[in-house]
Amino acid sequence: MTIRFFAYYRDPEYTGRKEMTMAAPHTVRDLGDALCSQFGSPFAEEFFNSGRTAPGDRIIIMINGRRVEFLDGLDTLLRESDVVQLFPVVAGG
Amino acid sequence: MNNGYIGRILRINLKNGTIRKEPLNDANASQYVGARGLGTKYFCDECDPACDPLGPGNNLVIMTGPLTGTAAPSSGRYNAVAKSPLTGTIGAANSGGHFGPELKFAGYDGIIFEDISEKPVYLYINDDEVELRDASHLWGRDVFDTTEALYEECGSNFRVACISAAGENGVLFAGIMNDKHRAAGRGGMGAVMGSKKLKAIAVKGTGSVKVARPEAFFNEIVEARDSLRAHPVTGAGLSAYGTMILVNIVNGVGGLPVNNGSEGSLFPNADEISGETLTARHLIRNKGCFGCPIGCGRLTEIKAGAFKSKGEGPEYEAGWSFGADCGIDDLGAVCNANFLCNQYGIDPITMGATVACAMELYKIGAITEEDVGFPLHFGDAAAMVRATEMTCKGEGFGKIMGLGSYRMAEKYGHPELSMSVKKQEMPAYDGRAIQGIGLEYATSNRGGCHVRGYMISPEVLGIPQAMDPLTTENKPAMLKVFQDLTALCDASGICLFTTFGIGLKEIAGMYREAVGSDESDEEILLKGERIWNLEKRFNIAAGVEKDTLPPRLLRETLPSGPAKGRVNELYTMLAEYYAARGWTKDGIPTDNKLEELGIK
């Protein structure tokens, strides 16, 4: 599967990546564990809320353009063909 | 006065050259707050809704709010209000920078310009010294040149709002530019100014703005500034990347219209025109408006190549209009076109969307190389910049593009290809992929516009709470609240971007302590609803067409992305929206509603 990072998540202290591929973990929660393990702090503080029940309040996680809040949250199942997009909360207009 | 207002406005009759200083209408200020609200109230009380937007009966009202020029965060705003020559609706355009505060420091809450001057003039304001001066030597000159000339003539510490030849020559989407790069951009307020032969306003003031309860006001400001600093968007994100940071996330939800919306709303090369790329390649430094802790402005430069240029911006909407909407992924060209819009004082949303519409007309053969003067294919960056420049300068086919996309497309037999509402172009979000923003476009009181009720906030950004962009549930009620709160925010004199980090509680708190009111938050929000209904009443009296969307959004399904197969479900939402507003099923404010709001 493809994972894309945006805004300051691309900075070296977060992931230093614009894009990466990996074998699809079972769920979004498993993906979060894998990415937090790979990149460590400060990225690891972003992915989950404190109870690991939902995304953290500074991250937007999209699977194929849909926020996980409108899918099955962290339990959303992942497939090899999925594109995951990770945005910090941003705004403009 | 010690209540946020100065208590005095200027009334300038351009035909006979009279200058009057008159007391602010306190009762109206209390009801309509200021800036967009109070400016609209003055306008509606004095002008015939049927007036010719470019004729003598269309007053131009420049109005600040009670928070403008105070220590409230991002309080550099003023509004220009007149009947829009582009839409025929009430036209209220909002700008930041330093001009609005300076007007208050000079001793005036606002200026009303009446009638038409016989020769080009500019208004000189140096505290109590107010003069209409000859501007023949400035006529025809661009925004930067005019501003520099007035700095030299009046003093470099003056603040200047002006138009270029685009406004003078009636480009229907010419804006009023202040501090060179800040724009009261949408709806053609610059064309109204040009029709009056009013080239510029130069102002310097040495006074200050006093508030009613300074200590309580200070406490409210501290709280608001703390909230803005703590919020990830207003405290870090907007400052770091500017508004162009939206390109990737809006494209991410499949909502970034491509090729005039004819190719759906997923742009393969979106990252090339994103805030991330702009920051990495072209950013020189940030720039903020008066009293702003956010600082979203960008000073940028294209250092080499065909589009070598330097200026401010682009903002997200211009990044899209000159980028994805024209099928262009060359950020240099996008910046160059945006810089031209600043230099010549025209609205880059309408400009880019009009070029995109012309490109589609060209693609289907409705216009040819003979009409344009060169091929105008989607994706041709040089042609896009050239078309923009021709419009700015009023050359050849640019004169037709200067009428906006609707009149242009209608002339060539395809009005349905204009992506506009009430003849104003919709901004950078596809209403098929983001349902609530479609409802906002349809119901906005100044035609296609995102900043009357920014539904992207909940539907894409999750602020203040995430709403599914593909559904219609609860959108009408949420939009009404957003529209009313936005009207209040605009009227108060602070920047709408603060509402990413603060809400009604903070805005009402600052307003209350500034003006010395004991009204509740709800009573203060009601002023926003009052403004909205006054605008709507004007539009109905002016005979503005019904609330709808271009046929493309209602009938052509999106070909790909998360919203594949969808259209905008406008008519599912519209009846609920009108009900939430207490209007008739045809969208007309009832007598009861107007009476309840005290609209006379």
Residue A66 to residue B562, Cβ atoms within 8 A: yes
pLDDT along chain A (93 residues), means of 10: 97 97 98 98 96 95 98 98 95 81
ipTM above 0.90, yes or no: yes
For residues B324 and B302, give the distance between their C-alpha atoms in angstroms, rounded to a whole number: 19
Q: B486: pLDDT confidence band, cut at 50, 70 and 90?
A: very high
DSSP annotation of B558: P
A12 to chain B, any CB pair closer than 8 A? The answer is no
Average pLDDT over residues B275-304: 95
Contact check, Cβ <8 Å, B241/A90: yes
CATH number (3.40.1410.10, 3.40.50.970, 3.20.20.210, 3.60.9.10) of B8-204 reads 3.60.9.10
pLDDT tens, residue by residue, B312-346: 999 999 999 999 999 999 999 999 999 999 999 99
Model confidence at B195: pLDDT above 90: yes
Contacts of B500 in chain A (CB under 8 A): 91
DSSP B118: S
Q: State residue B519's pLDDT score.
A: 98
Query: Is the pLDDT reported for residue B293 higher than 90?
Result: yes
Q: How far apart are CA B600 and CA B598, in angstroms?
A: 6
Q: How confident is the model at residue B409 (pLDDT cuts 50, 70, 90)?
A: very high
Among residues B598, B472, B567, B53, the alpha carbon closest in space to that of B265 is found at B567
- Are B176 and B200 spatial neighbours (Cβ–Cβ below 8 Å)? no
Give the gap in angstroms from C-alpha B560 to the nearest C-alpha of chain A.
11
Q: How far apart are CA B208 and CA A54, in angstroms?
A: 49
Does residue B376 carry a pLDDT above 90?
yes
The tokens describing A23, both together, are 């074998």
The distance of A30 to chain B (nearest Cα, Å) reads 22
CATH placement of domain B435-596? 1.10.599.10
Distance, in angstroms, between B290 CA and closest chain A CA?
A: 18
DSSP H helices in B95-188: 99-105, 143-154, 165-168
pLDDT at residue B160, rounded to an integer: 98
Mark yes or no for CB contact B233/A89 under 8 Å: yes
Pick the residue of B278, B461, B471, B499 with the most A CBs within 10 A to test the interface with A by mutation: B461
Domain ranges of chain B: 8-204, 242-425, 435-596
Q: Is A82 on the interface with B (CB under 8 A)?
A: no
Gap between the Cα atoms of B509 and B489, Å rounded: 12
- Name the band, by pLDDT with cuts 50, 70 and 90, for residue B128: very high
Instruction: Set out the domains of chain A in order of their start, with CATH numbers.
Output: 2-88 (3.10.20.30)
In this structure, which topology does domain B242-425 adopt according to CATH?
Answer: 1.10.569
Taking the C-alpha atoms of residue B516 and residue B4, their distance in angstroms, rounded to an integer, is: 9
Total Cβ atoms within 10 A of residue B28: 15
**Residue B217 confidence (pLDDT) above 90:** yes
And the tokens for A47?
A: 């992915």
Closest CA of chain A from B308, distance in Å: 26
Residue type, B362: Y
